[in-house]
Amino acid sequence: MNSPWHLYLMAGMYILAGINHFIKPKMYMRIMPRYLPNPKPLVILSGIAEILLGIGLCFESTKAVSIYGIIAMLIVFLLVHFYMLSGEKASAGIPKWILILRIPLQFGLMYWAWWYL
């Protein structure tokens, strides 16, 4: 555990986000694109993935795999961000300008992860 503090900050962020999938699953199911089947298992799987990838960042032996996994996960999550821009119901009441800002934020998060390779 000799990594910089901000790597652990990122790890904590993904772990807490993953835990939130189990605390507030309805929030995530509401923003799940309708064209994806079985939203509840997808919410659970994405929560598990966030937790495991966050934990993986904390260990040198799994850090690189976790980083690639986080980048792949964030690419997949772009589907949700674009879906939320598709209409009033899909936006879950979030203002459009925030939804638009979330897209470059995803790329910023990908860069942040890539920076640790």
Residues 6+ apart with CB under 8 A from 26: none
Is residue 87 classed as helix, strand or coil in its secondary structure? Answer: coil
E strand or H helix that includes residue 15: helix 5-23
The CA distance from 26 to 66, in Å, is 27
Tally the domains of the chain. 1
- Residue closest to 1 by CA, chosen among 55, 68, 52: 55
Per residue in 69-80, pLDDT tens? 999 999 999 999
- Model pTM? 0.92
Structural domain of 34: 5-114
Q: Which amino acid is at 7?
A: L
Per residue in 27-68, pLDDT tens? 999 899 988 899 999 999 999 999 999 999 999 999 999 999
Q: Which amino acid is at 64?
A: A
